């Protein structure tokens, strides 16, 4: 016998913990930003490559 769910309640609490930014945190953040920029650049390169191959067809 199947069970029917008539109401579903989902609750979430999000807290923004603002930690003081020291030299170590800033260095880690800049490394993360550099990594993100490299990833985005590689993604853009691959997308442009795929689009170029589609145009060749």
- What would the pLDDT profile of 1-57 be if each residue is shown by its tens digit? 788 878 888 888 888 777 665 656 666 666 688 888 999 999 999 999 999 988 886
Whether the Cβ atoms of residue 31 and residue 39 lie closer than 8 Å to each other: no
Q: Within its chain, how far is the Cα of 55 from the centroid?
A: 29
**Would you state the pLDDT for residue 34?**
85
pTM of whole model > 0.75?
Answer: no
**Would you state the pLDDT for residue 46?**
93
**Would you state the pLDDT for residue 13?**
86
CA 44/CA 50 separation, integer angstroms: 10
CA 24/CA 8 separation, integer angstroms: 43
Residues counted in the chain: 57
């Amino acid at each position: 016998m199947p069970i029917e769910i008539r109401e579903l309640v989902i609750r979430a609490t999000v807290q923004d913990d603002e930690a003081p930014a020291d030299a170590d945190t800033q260095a880690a953040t800049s490394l993360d930003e550099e990594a993100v920029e490299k990833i985005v650049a590689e993604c853009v390169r691959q997308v442009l490559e795929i689009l170029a191959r589609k145009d060749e067809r």
